[in-house]
Amino acid sequence: MLNNRPRHILRSDQFDREFLDYLYSLVNLIRRYDKSKEGLLYLQSLLPHVRGMLYFTQPSTRTFMSFHSACSILGVKTSEIRDSATSSEKKGESIEDSLRTFSSYVDLIVMRSPEAGLCERIATLLDSTPRPVPIINAGSGPDEHPTQALLDIYTLRRSFKGNQIDGKKICMVGDLKRGRTVRSLSRLLANYHDVSITFVSPEQFRIEQDLRDCLTNKAVPFTETTDFEGAIQDADAIYMTRIQDEWDEHSESSSVDHSDFCLHYDHLDSIKEDCVIMHPLPRRDEIDPKIDADPRAKYWRQERNGMWVRVALIAILMGVDHQVMLPEL
């Protein structure tokens, strides 16, 4: 059983090693129900009385479908807002009033917004009301994407020999300044022993100072470099990301040459035979599609893992994780 059950899923630094280990075991258990019709019907019987809202006012395909599918697996009935222009916010209603209104109709809100900190603000607001429904942060501005980080941790652990992250060297590549997946994953990695991180990026897209301070305070060794080919050679995992030009203010992405920060098919000969290659997607040209067929490429498995991790998170928030007691299926 989980000792410290979260009320919301808001930030990656709210989770400790106990939670990560519990989540890993729970996801593995839940996935066994996928082996039979009876198992899937049992999962659907856990939350048919729950109504959920997918409030996605930032463009999303993978994360939206992942959460939608996760809700369906547990029997949760969903409604959605994909554009705030279709709500009373268009009439001048505050986002706080809009979401408090939505909380009157549902038991769970999954939020994705371009506004940093919005999920935490709404969670604090709803906690002060008679109807404090759980909030899941599905991506907030360029600062946090905790469920992506949780599925990344699950994928890393499931992919490494011995299912252990302790002692591994993780190489993160791309737009590290504005990539919220990198920020959230780096904070989660601080829960593991002897992990080291190499951040590889153009000078303009290096990690922000707050992440440096966080890793330093938690005694996580890290380096920053522009030497992509040198950094990937001894990495146990390579986490590729795209340039986040949707956050451009003055077309700064177009002025940066990122061609030296792409993983090409020829690079496969210079990385470890058991290296794990990941990407939160969507990708552009930073991973050669020919790499998809290599057994070290885990990013498509990473995507499917995300659905099951989100099933487990919803089960935890709604208090039915203890009902996932596996019979012989």
Residues annotated catalytic, as ranges: 62-63, 91, 112, 145
Tokens of 63: 């994360």
Q: What are phi and psi of 207, to 5 degrees?
A: -60, 155
Tokens of 125: 């607001």
Half-sphere exposure of 182 (CA within 13 A, CB side): 30
Tokens of 160: 């490494």
Cβ-count burial 36-52 (b if 16+ within 10 Å, e if not): eeebeebbeebbeebeb
- Using CA atoms, how far residue 129 sits from 50, 100, 103, in Å, is 19, 9, 10
- Quote the CA–CA distance of 247 and 198 in Å, as a whole number: 24
8 Å CB contact between 306 and 151: yes
- Using CA atoms, how far residue 183 sits from 3, 168, 170, in Å, is 26, 18, 13
8 Å CB contact between 147 and 317: no
8 Å CB contact between 41 and 126: no
- Residue 249 CB partners (closer than 8 Å, separation 6+): none
